[in-house]
Structure 1
Amino acid sequence: MELDVKKHYPKDWVVLQNRVVECFKSMTLDEKRLFIMATPLARTTNVSSGEPIFISTDEFASACGLEITGAYTALGVATKKLFDRSFGYVRADKKKVSIRWMYKTAYGDGGSELYFTDEVLLLLREFDALNPYTKYKKEVVLRLKKDYSLDLYHLAKKHQNMGGFQISLDDLFEQLGLPESYRRIGNLKDRVINPSLDEITENTDIDLTYENVKKGRSVVGFKFTVREKPKPKPQLIAPEKDIKTVDLFCNMSDAQINKYSTILSKLSELSDLSNFPDYPTFAIWISGILRDPKSVREETAKRILKALHQKTDFKL
């Protein structure tokens, strides 16, 4: 049953509280994909913690651009890993609370059943000034295949209205859950930043670029610039072809084509179209147009049509 209230965005939008995304930074790419596919269903339906959200193997493969055999394995592994995931926060009374993302999963040939906990369902449905959130099209983010593209895309969309963001190295490692092996700047750029930004710019609705932030000679962070790509202009509907330029050429037999192309090749009205050494060669060119009027400019086809009807005995 669809919710009557709190349904701010349709199912093709991912809408996540910023703190939710900060919690899933340690997930694998396939876990994030599965989570992202499930959250719009949790948001827009009245499902409770005792009811499953179902993601089929076919749907997962199609949305993520995977072969069905690869999707079957990836979905199974992601489902198991998600079941083992938890996150935490500190309550007002200073007690540390740990929460599982979901309390039950089921997986088979057809797909995965995910049972979110009540606390997570609430997080996936509350969006207001006290619970800031980021939104983007589901189909856009699921195209991303690099390990850290999805996380950087979310950060970019989170700060898009400000034109970008600046982040220290320590915060970047924290936000993306990066291993210490990437502390060398060249390694970080080659393995994380450059491939992710290239993929984001090529496959999403934004251009994402960056520059170093230095302290002395050392790089201490990065400044990212986010620009929305210009939306494609709506294509104008082409006017209908003049029936006289195409349809009236149709259904001519080979004998008719040979006859009328010979006649037309000798008309003075069409002589300026010829760069051919003799009439027979010009006639061969005209016969090609009589067979396929779209093979030349429309204006040329119109001239030949006009001559065909006014200067010969051709009848439909």
Structure 2
Amino acid sequence: MNKNLVVKDNALINASYNLELVEQRLILLAVVEARRTNQEIKSDDFLTICAENYINEFGVHRNVAYQALKDACSHLFERRFTYQKLTPKGNKETITSRWVQSVSYVENEAIVRLKFSDDVAPLITLLEKNFTSYELEQVAGLTSKYAVRLYEIIIAWRTKGRTPMFDIDELRNRLGVINDEYPRMETLKRKVIDFAVKQVNDKTDIDITYEQHKNGRKIVGFTFVVTQKSKGKLTISKAKDKERDANTVDIFDSLTDKEREIVNEKNIYADNIGAGEEHRNNLIKQALEQHRQAELETKKKKEREKAEKQAKKAKEKIELDRAKDIFEKIKAEHRLINMYLARNIDPNHLQGLQQIRYNDGDFAGVFEMEQYKFEKLTDFRHLNLDFLQIKQ
């Protein structure tokens, strides 16, 4: 069994909800954790998600993960989703429910503990039909909340190769685009659909294209066409992702991958608050400056640590060379050998050949067997060499 397989009832896949990226990731990790037990999860069962797991799965910085999970916990309880199911009489029932009935963040342990709601629990475990599954790693590289949702929606139709037509309102609801976000079609396509499609195509195991449906000149819906990437193409795609440094500057827009993500996030935020052009530019400028300053400080810290390590290594080499010179100096004079042995050797603790040499009066031979202490700084620094009138 793939331990990192995300399995959801299609009712949940087709649900309408608005979760931020970290909240979606937290739910996904909880779904995976629930499945690990290979038994039915009841609504009163606590699930534990470690920050370490979040860091490993999604490749984020430790401090970022801690704060993101704390923030997600503070909002997740209020998040709702809407889904449909058939009643025993065959009628369609629309249900609105919470994702969780309890969620908490344990400070010093960096873990999240949550209980799924009564409606969610049966939609994620022990499913035998009408479900969708995919590997968590397929969405781990997606940094847009819309890309994660689009992948889930599309992957449910991979065997058919295309989705039904989603009218605009339905698509917005499923992707989690709230009513007053991106009212203009051009903005919706650029900021949500096209951006999500590109991320899915670049970072997952499927390729997506879409067809626009129009009533006159007005776009009224979208149909998505999905193809599974061949193993060769997927391997190449992943290799390119690994080879490309996220800090490498793109020659076309002079921004790194990380910086482009920051710009996109700030554009989305600016759209949400209705920011003007000047305010939008200031938000982006400030975020980029903060990011670049943090990157610069990290770079300087690494360079400083490297320099300190090299300096320490050079200093230790000088000390070892000096220790070897001292050994040769003592070895050359019987008087110094006797003084060394008197200060550093307890005859009662000698063993083997060294004890035999000592008993035979071969003090030069005894000292020769002390050479290892002059080749390792931890031993050398414990020697009493005051008879040489030198500083160690």
Tell me the TM-score range normalised by the shorter chain. 0.5 to 0.7
Matched AA of 1:142: A
Indicate the residue corresponding to 1:222 in structure 2.
222
TM-score, length-scaled by structure 1: 0.64
Indicate the residue corresponding to 2:28 in structure 1.
36
**Quick check: 2:197–2:208 contact (8 Å CA) kept in 1?**
yes
Mapped to 1, the partners of 2:170 and 2:95 lie a distance apart of 23
**Quick check: 2:16–2:173 contact (8 Å CA) kept in 1?**
no
Identity value in percent = 31
The correspondence of residues 35-74 of structure 1 with structure 2, limited to 5 A, is 35-45=27-37, 46=39, 48-74=42-68
SS at match of 1:27: coil
Mapped to 1, the partners of 2:96 and 2:155 lie a distance apart of 28
TM-superposed CA distance for 1:72, in Å, is 0.6
**Quick check: 1:25–1:151 contact (8 Å CA) kept in 2?**
no
TM-superposed CA distance for 1:98, in Å, is 5.7
Mapped to 2, the partners of 1:159 and 1:133 lie a distance apart of 11
SS at match of 2:138: helix
Mapped to 1, the partners of 2:114 and 2:16 lie a distance apart of 16
Matched AA of 2:188: L
TM-superposed CA distance for 1:34, in Å, is 0.3
Higher-Rg member (1/2): 2
**Quick check: 1:24–1:32 contact (8 Å CA) kept in 2?**
no
Mapped to 1, the partners of 2:70 and 2:45 lie a distance apart of 19
CA displacement, residues 177-210 of structure 1 (integer Å, 9 cap, x when unaligned): 3133423221111101111111100100001111
Matched AA of 1:35: I
Matched AA of 2:64: G
The correspondence of residues 94-173 of structure 1 with structure 2, limited to 5 A, is 99-109=97-107, 110-129=110-129, 132-165=130-163, 166-173=165-172
Mapped to 2, the partners of 1:174 and 1:181 lie a distance apart of 11
Mapped to 2, the partners of 1:108 and 1:117 lie a distance apart of 20
SS at match of 2:177: coil
Matched AA of 1:170: D
Note closer, same or farther for the CA distance 1:80–1:23 as it changes in structure 2 (3 Å cut): farther
Mapped to 2, the partners of 1:119 and 1:185 lie a distance apart of 34
**Quick check: 1:11–1:44 contact (8 Å CA) kept in 2?**
yes
Matched AA of 1:162: K
Indicate the residue corresponding to 1:195 in structure 2.
195
**Quick check: 1:140–1:204 contact (8 Å CA) kept in 2?**
yes
Mapped to 2, the partners of 1:25 and 1:62 lie a distance apart of 26
Mapped to 2, the partners of 1:97 and 1:158 lie a distance apart of 21
Mapped to 2, the partners of 1:65 and 1:18 lie a distance apart of 28
Structure 2 unaligned regions, length at least 5:
236-392
Note closer, same or farther for the CA distance 1:97–1:192 as it changes in structure 2 (3 Å cut): closer
Note closer, same or farther for the CA distance 1:229–1:97 as it changes in structure 2 (3 Å cut): closer
TM-superposed CA distance for 1:118, in Å, is 4.3
TM-superposed CA distance for 1:149, in Å, is 0.2
Size of the aligned set, in residue pairs, is 225
**Quick check: 2:6–2:31 contact (8 Å CA) kept in 1?**
yes
TM-superposed CA distance for 1:43, in Å, is 2.6
Mapped to 1, the partners of 2:211 and 2:14 lie a distance apart of 24
Moved more, 39-48 or 141-150: 39-48
TM-superposed CA distance for 1:223, in Å, is 2.3
Q: CA RMSD in A?
A: 2.8
**Quick check: 2:24–2:145 contact (8 Å CA) kept in 1?**
no
Note closer, same or farther for the CA distance 1:55–1:195 as it changes in structure 2 (3 Å cut): same
CA displacement, residues 93-141 of structure 1 (integer Å, 9 cap, x when unaligned): 9998664432222212321111224443222124244xx2111111111
TM-superposed CA distance for 1:49, in Å, is 3.8
Mapped to 2, the partners of 1:225 and 1:86 lie a distance apart of 29
Mapped to 2, the partners of 1:48 and 1:37 lie a distance apart of 17
**Quick check: 2:16–2:175 contact (8 Å CA) kept in 1?**
no
TM-superposed CA distance for 1:38, in Å, is 0.7
TM-score, length-scaled by structure 2: 0.52
Note closer, same or farther for the CA distance 1:118–1:172 as it changes in structure 2 (3 Å cut): closer
**Quick check: 1:10–1:44 contact (8 Å CA) kept in 2?**
no
TM-superposed CA distance for 1:54, in Å, is 1.2
Matched AA of 2:185: I
Note closer, same or farther for the CA distance 1:86–1:223 as it changes in structure 2 (3 Å cut): closer
Matched AA of 1:172: L
